[in-house]
Structure 1
Amino acid sequence: MALSNKPSLLLAAAAAAAAQTTHDNCAKNKKVTVQNNCAHDVTLTLEPLANSPHLFEGKQYTLRPHSHAEFPVCWWTGRLHAPGAPTAEFHVGVDGGCFYMGSNVRAPGLAVPVVVSPHGNPLQGECPAVGCPVHGRCSVAQVPGGRCRNVQEMKVIYCSPGV
């Protein structure tokens, strides 16, 4: 009988160890911030990937003009959609590693420019903002995984065109 209990004890010990091994970076108050600099509402739709948790309740979240929302995360992977805006796709890992992309082309059919910008204290590696601000030059289209590290906040900014 002792032999039949041994595998269950090992599984229980492994589960307890896994519960205690929360990554240190999860305790750093990491977050995804979405900012609406537009003069109109921006309705966000999430497309979580890789079994990612949801950032907010429900299928959509509406940001009022000139407001922002913060969503605490330990990790998140997916795409953020808004009408008239390019898709912002990003992954923030439990270790602070980051992959992100956005359009760096000013497309006539997409009237709402988007900028995706990582923040950390300090960021490590290559961590440029991607996308197209209203004024200024469009920046890179993506930052591959492993090149940007120590990310504590991923910021997605929706801008009014022509402002």
Structure 2
Amino acid sequence: MAISKLQLALLATAMAAAAISPTASGAYTGCATPRKVTIQNLSGRDLPLSETPLANSGALFGAGYVLRHGTHAEFTTCLWTGRVAAPGAAVVEFHVGPDGGAWYQVDNRQAGSPVKVTVTPHGRPLQGHCPAAGCRGGGQCFADAVPGGNCHAVDELKIIYYSP
């Protein structure tokens, strides 16, 4: 059976589209199960977010991203390492890997900060030592770091910004 020029053109277009549309910008393409980074804003103000990708990670959300109060955003990725920052909040540094491993850290000395922030891993079920890190409103604080190699089966890493 011969392939028509139209079929060949459609096949070439589909292959090109698949090649340039990874799960997330800069995402590792060998991922069998993509991971999710969710950022939620409960701070009482709109938050301009910035990111600093590390270890050859691509952009997670890009420059100029503003997360409106009362909303959340989900970013699908397979492999990402870097920092996320918002004005008035502690910087969150984390890594999510294609195998479900994760590490994360955020200062839990946020008493004078106008915006509090926590990082919490989610999985079904989580394995290892995976506590919440950072501080919520009302002065409730948790661990400040989860070192590499001890938190596994992470499907989602959730960053939440709170009002004091």
Matched, 1:36 2:63: no
Matched, 1:127 2:130: yes
Q: Which residue of 1 aligns with 2:106?
A: 102
Q: Which residue of 2 aligns with 1:144?
A: 147
Give the TM-score taking structure 1 as reference length: 0.79
- Alpha-carbon distance in structure 1 between the residues aligned to 2:139 and 2:88: 20
Contact (CA 8 Å) 2:35, 2:98: kept in 1 or not? no
AA of the residue aligned to 1:143: V
RMSD across aligned C-alpha pairs, in angstroms?
A: 1.3
Q: Which residue of 2 aligns with 1:47?
A: 52
Among the aligned pairs, what percent are the same residue? 54
Q: How far off is 1:84 after superposition?
A: 0.2
Q: Which residue of 2 aligns with 1:27?
A: 32
Give the TM-score taking structure 2 as reference length: 0.79
- Alpha-carbon distance in structure 1 between the residues aligned to 2:141 and 2:64: 28
- What whole-Å deviation, never above 9, does each CA across 1:49-72 have from its counterpart, x for those lacking one? 00112112x313101110000000
Q: Out of 73, 76, 96, which is 2:80 matched to?
A: 76
**Which stretches of structure 1, 4 residues or more, deviate above 4 A after TM superposition?**
none
Distance change (3 Å), C-alpha of 1:107 and 1:60: farther
Number of aligned residue pairs: give it: 136
For structure 1, the 5+ residue unaligned runs are 1-21
SS at match of 2:95: strand
Q: How far off is 1:29 after superposition?
A: 3.6
Contact (CA 8 Å) 1:39, 1:65: kept in 2 or not? yes
Distance change (3 Å), C-alpha of 1:136 and 1:112: closer
- Alpha-carbon distance in structure 2 between the residues aligned to 1:139 and 1:38: 18
- Alpha-carbon distance in structure 2 between the residues aligned to 1:100 and 1:46: 15
Q: How far off is 1:106 after superposition?
A: 2.4
Q: How far off is 1:136 after superposition?
A: 5.3
